[in-house]
């Protein structure tokens, strides 16, 4: 460990992939000026979605200001990076660049997205024969001794504060071994970057204590899966929440148009915000995850919920409940904003909000896709999202995830859609 006031020894260059995972390379901290001036080259063909092997030289460049010292290991500091082509142009498959472009489109209309995600994850123990089990047997809002993760979450919260990431709360979630940390509301790019850093911190701290933090949405078939519900609202340049309404506890007409846009594009959005084979095993009735394309006040069976709030204009928001923590936060926010802006542009109106328990109704409310391959078909047909995110990255996602689907089918056998296969554990347990 470094002494107080000493510079770190290593600089971790952190970036994200078109499929939402995080990658890094470390250099000596004293090369920071050189990195800022010249960037660092890497083999883009070794990361799915970035480059072909015959044209694979890509470049990392710092995307944010001063590097952040890792609170859990002060020998190293983290520098968030963007990905560039060898020509010096921003790479169109870099999720940060995709989000920047969508946010720029919003800002041209005087609309700025703020968000606050709830990051759920499991703490698990991996046995020598590669079986996994929850690290504790607690339930929702459990206390000790059932909540075996309390001390770990406190350490995680302290580290997030050390990284300059404001948080709201932490607690044990519904399933055994399942936990949640909430990030405070802020601008969309800040939030997306903070989710990357938070996932890294959570994983590093758990690893140092002898267990594993996994952002796999559904590691256990019989337990609730992990989501990453995204609370969000649009603001103008003067700091006014445009989702606020004169009637306390309700949202504005603009929010209605935004919701309608998300609902219109929901089948395609699912491929971005629930991006894996395993994601769709979370989106099943009975586990507090959405299955229907519906919205309503305080209703956790809907895809979009209007949370209870005290009437304060600043707190007016919607909660998009479809995303899970395996998704790219940059692409998720880019896609949902593009869908919402489409609803605003065309003055779309959502259906009537529902207070029904949609797990136990036989009405004709449309359903979310039931599998990754279904969602990918919808994404292929959604010209609005392809144009907003970029044809190249959408094509890359469809190609990679389609191959993933057929790889899964080869190994799934007769296990069906409910069981969690060994292939999924091997593929997703350690991915972040």
**pLDDT tens digits, 357-413:** 777 776 788 999 999 999 999 999 999 999 999 999 999 999 999 999 999 998 886
Q: Which of 284, 300, 377, 392 is catalytic?
A: 300
* 43 catalytic residue (yes or no): yes
Length of the chain: 432
* 190 catalytic residue (yes or no): no
Calpha distance 321→53 (Å, rounded): 38
Q: Which of 70, 85, 120, 324 is catalytic?
A: 120
Block means of pLDDT (10 residues each) for the chain, length 432 residues? 74 96 97 95 90 80 94 97 94 97 98 99 92 94 95 98 98 98 98 98 97 97 97 97 87 97 99 98 92 90 88 87 98 99 98 83 86 98 98 96 94 71 94 80
Task: Tell me what pLDDT residue 304 has.
Answer: 97
Q: Which of 70, 190, 204, 319 is catalytic?
A: 319
pLDDT digits (tens, 9 = 90+) for 255-295: 999 999 999 999 999 999 999 999 999 999 888 899 999 99
Q: Which of 257, 282, 317, 321 is catalytic?
A: 321
In the chain, CATH 3.10.20.70 covers 10-91
Q: Which of 70, 85, 173, 324 is catalytic?
A: 173
Token pair of 344 as six digits? 């605003």
Q: Which of 194, 229, 256, 401 is catalytic?
A: 229
| Residue of 162, 120, 150, 170 whose CA lies nearest to 282 | 120
* 144 catalytic residue (yes or no): no
Phi, psi of 410 (to 5 degrees): -65, -30
Calpha distance 230→256 (Å, rounded): 17
CATH code of domain 10-91: 3.10.20.70
Element at 374 (helix H, strand E): helix 372-381
In the chain, CATH 3.30.590.10 covers 100-390
Cα–Cα distances in angstroms (integers) from residue 125 to residues 104, 134, 138, 240, 281, in the given order: 43, 6, 15, 46, 21
Q: Which of 70, 180, 193, 404 is catalytic?
A: 180
Task: Determine the Cα angle at 321 with ends 80 and 256, to 5°.
Answer: 105
Task: Tell me what pLDDT residue 386 has.
Answer: 98
92-110 burial: b if 16+ Cβ within 10 Å, else e: bbbbbbbbbbbbeebeeee
Q: Which of 85, 118, 136, 324 is catalytic?
A: 118
* 180 catalytic residue (yes or no): yes
* 246 catalytic residue (yes or no): no
* 118 catalytic residue (yes or no): yes
* 105 catalytic residue (yes or no): no
* 308 catalytic residue (yes or no): no
Calpha distance 321→225 (Å, rounded): 12
* 319 catalytic residue (yes or no): yes
Q: Which of 43, 236, 349, 381 is catalytic?
A: 43
pLDDT digits (tens, 9 = 90+) for 98-118: 999 999 999 999 999 999 999
CATH code of domain 100-390: 3.30.590.10
154 Cβ neighbours under 8 A, 6+ residues apart: 170
């Amino acid at each position: 460990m470094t002494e107080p006031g000493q510079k770190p020894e290593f600089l971790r260059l952190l970036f994200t992939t078109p499929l939402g995972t995080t990658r890094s390379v470390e250099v000596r901290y004293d090369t920071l000026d050189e990195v800022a001036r010249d960037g660092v080259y890497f083999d883009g063909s070794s990361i799915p979605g970035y480059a072909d092997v015959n044209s694979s030289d890509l470049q990392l460049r710092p995307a944010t200001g001063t590097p952040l010292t890792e609170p859990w290991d002060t020998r190293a500091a983290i520098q968030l990076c963007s990905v560039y082509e060898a020509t010096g142009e921003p790479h169109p498959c870099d999720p940060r660049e995709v989000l920047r472009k969508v946010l720029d489109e919003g800002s041209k209309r005087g609309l700025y997205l703020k968000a606050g995600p709830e990051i759920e994850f499991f703490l698990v123990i991996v046995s020598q024969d590669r079986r996994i089990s929850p690290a504790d047997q607690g339930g929702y809002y459990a206390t000790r001794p059932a909540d075996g993760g309390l001390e770990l979450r406190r350490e995680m919260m302290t580290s997030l504060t050390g990284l300059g990431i404001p948080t709201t709360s932490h607690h044990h979630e519904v399933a055994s071994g399942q936990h949640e940390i909430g990030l405070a509301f802020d601008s969309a790019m800040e939030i997306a970057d903070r989710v990357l850093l938070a996932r890294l911190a959570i994983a590093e701290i758990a690893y140092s204590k002898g267990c594993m933090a996994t952002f796999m949405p559904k590691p256990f078939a019989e337990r609730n899966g992990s989501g990453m519900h995204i609370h969000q609202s649009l603001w103008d340049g003067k700091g006014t929440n445009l989702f606020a309404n004169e009637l306390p506890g309700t949202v504005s007409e603009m929010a209605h148009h935004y919701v309608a846009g998300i609902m219109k594009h929901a089948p395609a959005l699912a491929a971005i915000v629930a991006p894996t084979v395993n994601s769709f095993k979370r989106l099943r009735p009975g586990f507090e995850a959405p299955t229907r394309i519906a919205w309503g006040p305080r209703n956790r069976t809907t895809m979009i919920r209007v949370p209870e709030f005290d009437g304060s204009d600043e707190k007016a928001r919607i909660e998009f409940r479809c995303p899970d923590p395996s998704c790219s936060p940059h692409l998720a926010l880019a896609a949902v904003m593009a869908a919402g802006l489409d609803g605003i542009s065309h003055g779309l109106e959502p259906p009537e909000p529902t207070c029904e328990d949609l797990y136990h109704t036989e009405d004709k409310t449309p359903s979310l896709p039931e599998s990754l391959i279904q969602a990918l078909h919808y994404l292929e047909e959604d010209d609005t999202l392809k144009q907003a995110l970029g044809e190249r990255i959408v094509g890359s996602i469809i190609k990679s995830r389609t191959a993933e689907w057929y790889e899964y089918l080869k190994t799934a056998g007769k296990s069906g859609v409910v069981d969690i296969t060994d292939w999924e554990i091997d593929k997703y347990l350690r991915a972040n």
